[in-house]
Amino acid sequence: MNNDLLLEVKDLTKYFPVTRGLILERKIADVKAVDGVNFGIRRGETLGLVGESGSGKTTVGKCVLHIIPPTVGEVYFEGSDLCRLEDENLRRVRPRMQPIYQDPYGSLNPRMTVDGIVGEPLLVHSLARRKDVRERVGELLKLVGLEPEMGRRYPHMFSGGQRQRIGIARALATQPAFLVCDEPVSALDVSIQAQIINLLAELQERLGLTLLFIAHDLSVVRHISDRIAVMYLGRIMELAPSGDLYLHPMHPYTRALLSAVPIPDPVLERERKRMLLTGEIPSPLNPPSGCGFHPRCYERQDICSQVAPSVTEKDGHMVACHLFA
């Protein structure tokens, strides 16, 4: 494994079996949620992972955190393959990688005060003595832009943006090196989204964090990501440095997604060509043959429905499409 990489994912595959029969349960099919995904994230880097709902991006996040084990593949974190670690070693690694969820309210226990919620990981992982927890929680709340006195309140007494700040404070309690942010701003008002993205960028800089930032919208990940991977039906279609992806998108799917992102300049906005994607993302239970995008692709060729394209790479820009083979 390259020493610069904090995380490396190799051939990550996650199939969920579909079974039938109550007594003699038998497998009748697989939902192919993630199918042979490869990427690495350098220390201090943010990788944006973008795709429509059903593309498999959340499953990638859960496998990376080892919340669910992959069916096949390897997930190296700080040099160790998480899939091969014994329970005790896995417990040691867990505090180093933390999730931030989309629904901050749903992930905060409504019966606990904020002090209790943010202090819990400190006690569970024996990172602070009971008498020091309050002070440490106060520091964490300040770090995310909240007042330490707010720790006495309950989650329902906060706005959506403040609740997400509490979720971030809880994630930071274990002093992680790596955060998996799974749609952390999707449930928030547009006016609040930028504040949370800026907070995450600021914390990353200050604490040297590495981020996997999952979103369904390319405009959300643009400013925080160093590189962006675009997922479709369980596979990565394109992965490139952020600026390169926005200026020179190659894959037809990326181009279609980008054409839907508004441009602040009204003249450019009026003149540019929209590529509307027709139809829904196919079911991962029965994915299309060849290139998974071919039923919706406006540039498909005969080969596309028969042969899955392999990945080609030039100057760190990777794409899986027959147009660039």
Contacts of 247 (CB under 8 A, 6+ apart): none
Is 43 or 300 the residue whose CB approaches ligand SF4 more closely?
Answer: 300
CB of 51 to ligand SF4, least distance (A): 14
CB of 249 to ligand SF4, least distance (A): 12
- Nearer to ligand SF4 by C-beta: 251 or 317? 251
Transcribe 130-148 into DSSP letters: HHHHHHHHHHHHHHTT--G
How far apart CA 269 and CA 285 sit, in angstroms, is 38
In whole angstroms, what separates CA 10 from the centre of its chain?
16
Residue that the structure tokens 């894959």 belong to: 251
| Residues in contact with ligand SF4 by the rule CB under 6 A | 251-252, 291, 293-294, 297, 299-301, 304, 309, 321-323
**Angstrom distance (rounded) from CA 127 to CA 109:** 21
Nearer to ligand SF4, 222 or 322 (CB): 322
Provide, rounded to whole angstroms, the least separation between the CB of residue 296 and ligand SF4: 8
Q: Where are the alpha helices (DSSP H) in 65-113?
A: 87-93
CB atoms within 10 A of CB 250: 21
| Helix intervals (H) in the chain | 57-64, 87-93, 114-124, 130-143, 160-172, 190-207, 218-221, 242-247, 252-259, 266-271
Q: Closest approach of Cβ 26 to ligand SF4, in Å?
A: 34
Q: How near is the Cβ of 215 to ligand SF4 at its closest, in Å?
A: 21
Output 109 or 306, the one with its CB closest to ligand SF4.
306
Asked if 170 contacts 184 with a C-beta cutoff of 8 angstroms, the reply is: no
Question: Cβ closer to ligand SF4: 166 or 304?
Answer: 304
Q: At closest approach, how far in Å is the CB of 31 from ligand SF4?
A: 21
230 or 321: whose CB is closer to ligand SF4?
Answer: 321
User: Are 11 and 36 spatial neighbours (Cβ–Cβ below 8 Å)?
Assistant: yes
